[in-house]
Structure 1
Amino acid sequence: MSESVYPHPIIAREGWPFLAIAILIALALTWTGLWLLAAIAWLGVAFIAQFFRDPPRTVPEQANAVLAPADGKVMLVERTRDPYLDRDALKISVFMNVF
């Protein structure tokens, strides 16, 4: 397995707009003194940051290696028919947990 890690931001780029909006809302609520709503908004910021996190991964260099598209638990591995390519395929179902 390779020791190299692909370059990436800490938060996935797709999450930047959501995180920016949430931070602006949380800052506005904090600035206005609405402490309870601000606390809820900051919890929302933490949730969004957790959801869109992009931790560093070691990428294998093997040509036939399998790399999971997301963190999670493998729930099912079975042979099936790919309806789009009309060929036999191996289906791997991954349960993604936000936390």
Structure 2
Amino acid sequence: MTIHKEGYTTIALSILFIFILNAIIDYNFENLAWLRWLTYIVSLALFLIVLQFFRNPKRSFTAGEQLIICPADGKVVVIEETEEGEYFKDRRLQVSIFMSPVNVHINRNPISGMVKFFKYHPGKYLAAWNPKSSTENERTTVVVEHKNGTPVLFRQIAGALARRIVWYVKEGDLVEQGKEFGFIKFGSRVDIFLPLGTKVNLQLNQVVKGGITVLAELA
């Protein structure tokens, strides 16, 4: 397992904060051994939490031209037909994956193809499971067109804790299934919009892994 590049700055700042905090406690409360040990324990726990959040575990990814792979780790919270009003402006099948702070937060391309559309939207920080978060929160929208002509839309959505969305794609890029297209710091959500009639292989509340779990199959 390695640490993702998006974590370097946060980890460095965490180490600096922990060092300063422990130095202050050691200097001002030299005679309170219990307080110093409590600070050491809390500091270690904080460091491990930050470290695990930015982990980048080694994985053997699933691949298949007709497969749509889950773009993120997390739990399936939505499988429903809905109106997609930004790009398609018609009815689509929506699948949403909620990413808790303990999940790996790397986002991966569900299919290979060309990026036909990309847009970043500043916005609110509603809880990621709130239905309005899909249209009101800070988010990105990416549409990748498969070589058979089928477009798949996926959307990074910031949550109540997530304050930074990172993306690595732009319109015109050729992307490869399973490769990173972005990262969301702390709790968040990814929505995928598919053509109606797409065979979805997931169930509500199922726990999935990005780049591994097969989400659906293209017609």
Which structure 1 residue ranges, 5 or more long, are not aligned? 1-8
Given that 1:50 and 1:98 are in contact with CA atoms closer than 8 Å, whether structure 2 keeps it comes out as no
Q: Does 1:17 align with 2:9?
A: yes
- TM-score in terms of structure 1 length: 0.69
Residue identity (%): 29
Letter in 1 for 2:50: I
How many residues align? The count is 91
Given that 1:23 and 1:42 are in contact with CA atoms closer than 8 Å, whether structure 2 keeps it comes out as no
Letter in 2 for 1:78: E
Give the counterpart of 1:95 among 93, 98, 106: 98
Deviation at 1:48, TM superposition (A): 0.9
Q: Which has the higher contact order (CA 8 A, sep 6+)?
A: 1
Give the alignment of 1:39-78 within 5 angstroms.
39-78=41-80
Q: Secondary structure at the match of 1:93?
A: strand
Deviations 1:58-92 (A, max 9, x none): 22221232222322121221122211111332211
Considering only aligned residues, what root-mean-square deviation do their CA atoms show, in Å?
2.4
Q: Secondary structure at the match of 1:25?
A: helix
**Greater than 6 Å deviation, 4+ residue runs:** none
- TM-score in terms of structure 2 length: 0.36
- Greater percentage in strand: 2
Deviation at 1:43, TM superposition (A): 1.3
- Greater percentage in helix: 1
Q: Secondary structure at the match of 2:3?
A: coil
